[in-house]
Structure 1
Amino acid sequence: MATTALFRATVRAIRAATPDGAALRIRQPVLESPVQWMANEPLPQHLMIDETPATLIGGVFPSLLDEAGALRGGHDLWGDGLPLELSRERCTRIARSRFADAESASLDEGFAALRALGDQIALAQRTSVARTSGLCVEASSAYRGRAQAGLWVFSYRLRVRNESDEPVRLLGRHWMIRNADGSVHAEVPKWGAGIVGQTPLLSPGAAFEYASGTSLSSPNGSIGGAIRAERGDGHTFEAAVGCFPLLSSPSDD
């Protein structure tokens, strides 16, 4: 009975995560990423991403991996490739495969999966995805708390994936950081010297990820802008970074 109730709760969470037939795009939480912004965190600020569906799921829903570290259910259940976007039907099939047998999953695993689904919903509300000329830019934010000066502090992560069939080099960025009322809080001018000092060359299918952050004088705001990129023939273009929210915890509004 408990497993059945847990499955039903999971299905309700899946419906909330896939409104109007949208796919659930699995993302690693910003504060658990392999790149971090704050100086006291012993992780790099940028790196090239080498990720598989299994390593992504393992970091978000570890109970969906078997003892060998492979995705339970195999290719027929999950498909392959990244980014990992799952339809509501596929999410429900995955949940059913885990909870169909009362012995196959513990209540602790089920509650952990429910919490992770809730985290994915919250992360989607703080994320933008934009595609320009074969570059996919995904940007997500996370609230870090209040600074001593009374400012609201946020981290954000950008992942730039080359979905074209030719190499692309990233040259610089341009940011507009806005308060909740739309006023400009800060601007990172065009185009600067690289992206956090880097000008990575992305081969087809490769992804570059970096972390940064900002503070605001109000509890909420947003960031948007563009990345300047160059193809092998010397052609440069601006890849949009869709506006993504900076949202503090409700208790800190």
Structure 2
Amino acid sequence: MSSRAVRALYRLFLQQARALERSGVAQLDVRAPVSTEAWLMQQGGHGWAPPRDEFHLRSLQQLFPWAAEGATSGSFSPAQLRALIMRCFRQPAGASKEEQLDQAFTSLRLLSDQVHMQECSSSCQTEGVHVEVTTAHVGSQEELDPHYEAEEGQQPKHYYTYRVRVSNCGNETVQLMGRHWIIEDSSGNVVTEVAKGSRGVVGCTPLLKPGECFEYYSGTDVDTPGGCMRGSFQMAVVNPQRPQELPSHTFDALVAPFPFVPPRNGG
């Protein structure tokens, strides 16, 4: 890799880190990509998964192996991200110039994808229950339906999928009993509301012991290119030995607003 190419890539990486800092993001959490097909699969769309911190670290190891050596976290402040970039450029991997260049370009694209996913995510913790949601654009109605013909003045719907990760970071066993969703279009108008207490998620009322995480995919459509969704999960603190007994405590685990963001290329 020529010194000129190294300097150009180094500047591009630092520009991404500085843009993240200017946006006011406290930290970048590395995330595995969101599947745009999992929510359509009856079995593949939900199940047990690594909890919050382990998920981010595994995502770093999978996507950025060149930066994961010795890492204990998959979350970085903008300052930590800049330090990581400088360290990796000072200690290039023992590969050919062509391989190093390919790795640098791939990593730059992945970093850009991570910044975009950060914009499409929300994170919130309530009484030890951490809820993280990340969205992805599936396509517009005219893109997905070859027979679609818009009526005069009508805009095609936009379809989004979202991955929900519920991690029990507390010390008590909890059960997800219900949900409450409010979906808004890009103008802030409420287009759909799922009543508070609607039973479970994807047909399940998962029991989460300390350290466990339940992950599932779902999806929705909005009449505008973008929008937003927020809500809560109704949780019950239960006795893991006798979960059929009345819960000792119930609470709402808040789901911070997460946006539906159109593709960056406008497609």
- Determine the structure 2 residue equivalent to 1:118: 112
Q: Is the 8 A contact 2:30 2:57 kept in 1?
A: no
**Cα deviation per residue 1:123-158 (whole Å; 9 max; x = unaligned)?**
111111111111111111111111235311100111
Q: Secondary structure at the match of 1:120?
A: helix
Q: Is the 8 A contact 1:3 1:102 kept in 2?
A: no
Ranges in structure 1 where 5+ consecutive residues have no aligned partner:
65-70
- Determine the structure 1 residue equivalent to 2:103: 109
Cα distance in 1 for partners of 2:101, 2:265 equals 29
Equivalent runs, 1:93-108 vs 2, <5 Å: 93-102=83-92, 104=94, 106-108=100-102
TM-score (norm 2): 0.80
Equivalent runs, 1:1-253 vs 2, <5 Å: 1=3, 2-19=5-22, 20=24, 22-31=26-35, 36-39=38-41, 44-50=44-50, 52=54, 54-64=57-67, 71-72=68-69, 74=70, 78-80=71-73, 84-102=74-92, 104=94, 106-147=100-141, 148=145, 149=148, 150-232=156-238, 233-249=247-263, 252=266
Question: Shift in Å at residue 168 of structure 1?
Answer: 1.1
Q: Secondary structure at the match of 1:31?
A: coil
Q: Aligned partner of 2:48: which letter?
A: M
Cα distance in 2 for partners of 1:103, 1:248 equals 36
Q: Is the 8 A contact 1:162 1:206 kept in 2?
A: yes
**Cα deviation per residue 1:81-131 (whole Å; 9 max; x = unaligned)?**
xxx321233222322332214554601111111111111111111111111
Q: Aligned partner of 2:127: which letter?
A: S
Q: Aligned partner of 2:182: which letter?
A: M
Q: Percent identity, please.
A: 33
CA RMSD of aligned residues (A): 2.3
- Determine the structure 2 residue equivalent to 1:67: none
Cα distance in 2 for partners of 1:50, 1:174 equals 24
Q: Aligned partner of 2:83: which letter?
A: R
Question: Shift in Å at residue 43 of structure 1?
Answer: 6.5
Cα distance in 2 for partners of 1:50, 1:237 equals 23
Q: Is the 8 A contact 1:4 1:99 kept in 2?
A: no
Q: Is the 8 A contact 2:185 2:224 kept in 1?
A: yes
Q: Secondary structure at the match of 1:165?
A: coil
Q: Is the 8 A contact 2:121 2:259 kept in 1?
A: yes
Cα distance in 2 for partners of 1:26, 1:101 equals 22
Ranges in structure 2 where 5+ consecutive residues have no aligned partner:
149-155, 239-246
Structure 2 vs 1, CA of residues 184 and 21 (structure 1 numbering), >3 Å: closer, same or farther? Answer: closer
Cα distance in 1 for partners of 2:196, 2:164 equals 17
Cα distance in 2 for partners of 1:250, 1:100 equals 32
Q: Secondary structure at the match of 1:99?
A: helix
Structure 2 vs 1, CA of residues 102 and 4 (structure 1 numbering), >3 Å: closer, same or farther? Answer: farther
Q: Look at both structures and tell me which one has the larger radius of gyration over its CA atoms.
A: 2
Question: Shift in Å at residue 216 of structure 1?
Answer: 1.1
Q: Aligned partner of 1:14: which letter?
A: A
